[in-house]
Chain A
Amino acid sequence: MQPQPATDAMPLLEAISVSKAFGVFKALQDISFSVSDGEFVSIVGPNGAGKTTLVNVVTGLLRPTAGEVRFLGRDIAGIGPVELARLGMSRAFQLVNIFPALTVRETLAVAIASRLRRVSNPFRSLQRDSVMQADAVRVAEVLGLRSKLDKVASKLSQGEKKLLDIASAFALNPAVILLDEPTSGVSTGEKHAIMEVLVTAAKAAGVRAIVQVEHDMDLVERYSHRIVALQAGSLLANMAPDAFFADPAMISAVVGTRPKL
């Protein structure tokens, strides 16, 4: 990752003065931040701070009440998930989100078929499509699921399901990947392993930036390049992790209401 002068590098993903209201409730107020090439950005904040709403807005699922969301220079407000995937942003969810009866290979092939636009001819063979098959193996390899290719998703361990969920997001070859608590519901032991796999995989797969929502401050401190902190729908901080964790006020604002177990 070559650090580029901030002036001429166009951000990959940019939220400009974004606000979102649900009726009278202001979920987000005037939030601006951007994600550049090579960055790992963590969105943090106590429960109810607006993290999920922010993610929904910057992935084009929700249209902001005011402000603009740009991805690769394009306005993506409210474009919806299919178009988002096509433009090169993929998203993995907080809860494990799999296709229970499909194998790992098939799960990856779903995303690959979308990316390579293989679905318009309903008579095309999936099995004999060597490009698709090789690509499924490549993605599985990158996320350490190679040996599980023919296993049915519902039979995987919890950690493997999480990896599969993330792998199918990688299979879209996205420029930016957005992860909503990638390690939630996973044992502490597995958390770091998953994060390591994820970061290595992102580099190998050519993912240009990662944005994650995360509660675990150890993981946030260890992997992020920048922290976007929210509090009651407003931007509290947008800074490097050293600066963030050096400020006790920041830490108490973010984790104070949610004591660590």
Chain B
Amino acid sequence: MIRLNGLWVLFALIAVMALLPLVASPYVLLLMLPFVGYGIALLGFNLLFGTTGLLSFGHALFLGVGAYTAAALTSKFGILSFEIILVAAALISGLVSLVIGMLCVRYTRIFFGMLTLAFGMLFHSFLFKFYAITGGDQGMRVLRPLLLGMEWRGGKTAFLTGPFYYYALMLFALLGLAMWRMTQSPFGLHLRAIRENAGKAAYVGVEIFRMRLSAFVISAVYGGIGGTILAITTGLADPELAYWTHSGNLVFMAVLGGSGTFAGPAIGALAFVVLQDFVMAITQYWRFVMGGVLVLLVIFMPQGLAGTIELLLIRRDGEG
């Protein structure tokens, strides 16, 4: 029987991405960078949603924090080291999520969702209205960072589809491995126990609040890192990154790929990015089409892409 190990599925996906520059055009590679950014964010998002059972409607906030951290460091403070940017984005999203999480994770289900949505909207208005700090609707420029202290002398596209592309993929693989370890640890088991039955979990010694808060902070750190990749790809930190529809997109990606599997949300991110690009190219009513896809998906494939494939494999093995 084939036991689908989520980590290997993710690694296989990343390996294919690593070979892509041999055959694909720069356009496709530039499309894959947002996928990597979203893929990382979704790994975190799913620790909260798929593993712990908390659905956040404000997770784009942390992508925004990561993006604006990259923007502030590069264009206001002249700090160009990508490693410093990553650490700063992780720390700042971690701290912001610690404060927000303490208020949100006391609640579950719709109450948790609404509170995270509210915080997301608060942050979006802050970005939008505090023109002097954030550039308002203009956003903030994100300058090209130094990778491992090295400066790239070539053009922008060559930088993004070359060194930055591989750097981002390496990061994706490392963060994927770290997330896999977390889901396979006693810590991850306690998170699943909370998702399954929080009332019982408390009686077998699971510290519900602490565990939920930890999952919230970890997912925010992944969101922040994903956000920096998105911002460097576009060269801009934009308030739309933190807008609630963007949070909705994250939920869409998780559902599209299948939140019940490890690699599902990353696959969902890929499918979303490719689908959106494809539909946008053929019609201006792309939101309508994307909405229709979501409806069909929820009705016919509630397990998402990865979940449905897994079910098919299990069924085949069961019969064979």
| Chain A residues close to B by CB (< 8 Å) | 80-82, 84-86, 90-91, 93, 97-102, 106-107, 109-111, 113-115, 118-127, 129, 132, 165, 168-169, 171-172
Task: Report if B188 contacts A (CB, 8 A).
Answer: yes
Task: Report if B192 contacts A (CB, 8 A).
Answer: yes
| Chain B residues close to A by CB (< 8 Å) | 178, 181-182, 184-190, 192-193, 196-197, 199-208, 211, 214, 218
CB distance from A168 to the nearest CB of B (A): 5
Contact of A126 among B189, B201, B218 (CB under 8 A): B189
CB distance from A53 to the nearest CB of B (A): 17
CA distance A187 to B119 in the complex (A): 50
Which residue on B lies nearest to A123, using beta carbons? B181
Interchain residue pairs A-B with the least CB separation, the first 4: A114-B205, A99-B196, A113-B186, A85-B205
Q: Is the CB of A122 within 8 A of B206?
A: no
Q: Is the CB of A82 within 8 A of B186?
A: no
When distances are taken between beta carbons in the complex, the residues of chain A under 8 Å from B192 are 99, 101-102, 106
CB distance from A171 to the nearest CB of B (A): 7
CA distance A9 to B181 in the complex (A): 48
Contact of B181 among A109, A110, A122, A172 (CB under 8 A): A122
CB distance from A207 to the nearest CB of B (A): 15
Further 10 A-B residue pairs, CB within 8 A, beyond A85-B205, A99-B200, A114-B206: A97-B197, A98-B197, A99-B192, A100-B197, A109-B186, A110-B206, A115-B205, A121-B187, A125-B184, A126-B185
CA distance A84 to B204 in the complex (A): 9
CB distance from B212 to the nearest CB of A (A): 13
Q: Is the CB of A110 within 8 A of B189?
A: yes
- Given A109-B189, A110-B193, A126-B186, the answer on whether A172 and B200 have CB atoms closer than 8 Å is no
When distances are taken between beta carbons in the complex, the residues of chain A under 8 Å from B208 are 82
Contact of B184 among A86, A100, A126 (CB under 8 A): A126
- Given A97-B199, A102-B193, the answer on whether A124 and B205 have CB atoms closer than 8 Å is no
Contact of A118 among B178, B186, B203 (CB under 8 A): B186
When distances are taken between beta carbons in the complex, the residues of chain A under 8 Å from B188 are 122, 126
Contact of B204 among A120, A122, A132, A168 (CB under 8 A): A168
When distances are taken between beta carbons in the complex, the residues of chain B under 8 Å from A82 are 202, 205-208
Contact of B200 among A98, A118, A122 (CB under 8 A): A98
Q: Which among B178, B181, B193, B203 has the greatest number of chain A C-beta atoms within 10 A?
A: B203
Contact of B205 among A111, A120, A127 (CB under 8 A): A111
Q: Is the CB of B205 within 8 A of A125?
A: no
- Given A82-B202, A86-B205, the answer on whether A125 and B185 have CB atoms closer than 8 Å is yes
CA distance A172 to B193 in the complex (A): 15
Q: Which among A97, A106, A119, A121 has the greatest number of chain B C-beta atoms within 10 A?
A: A119
17 A-B residue pairs with CB within 8 Å: A81-B202, A82-B206, A91-B203, A98-B196, A99-B193, A99-B201, A102-B189, A109-B189, A110-B190, A110-B193, A113-B190, A119-B185, A120-B187, A121-B185, A122-B188, A124-B186, A172-B205
Which residue on B lies nearest to A90, using beta carbons? B203
CB distance from B199 to the nearest CB of A (A): 7
When distances are taken between beta carbons in the complex, the residues of chain B under 8 Å from A121 are 185, 187
Which residue on A lies nearest to B187, using beta carbons? A122
CA distance A120 to B190 in the complex (A): 11
When distances are taken between beta carbons in the complex, the residues of chain A under 8 Å from B193 are 99, 102, 107, 110
When distances are taken between beta carbons in the complex, the residues of chain B under 8 Å from A111 are 204-205
When distances are taken between beta carbons in the complex, the residues of chain B under 8 Å from A86 are 205
CA distance A122 to B199 in the complex (A): 22
Contact of A110 among B178, B201, B214 (CB under 8 A): B201
Contact of A85 among B178, B184, B204, B211 (CB under 8 A): B204
CA distance A169 to B192 in the complex (A): 18
CB distance from B155 to the nearest CB of A (A): 40
CA distance A218 to B186 in the complex (A): 41
CB distance from B255 to the nearest CB of A (A): 18
Q: Is the CB of B203 within 8 A of A85?
A: yes
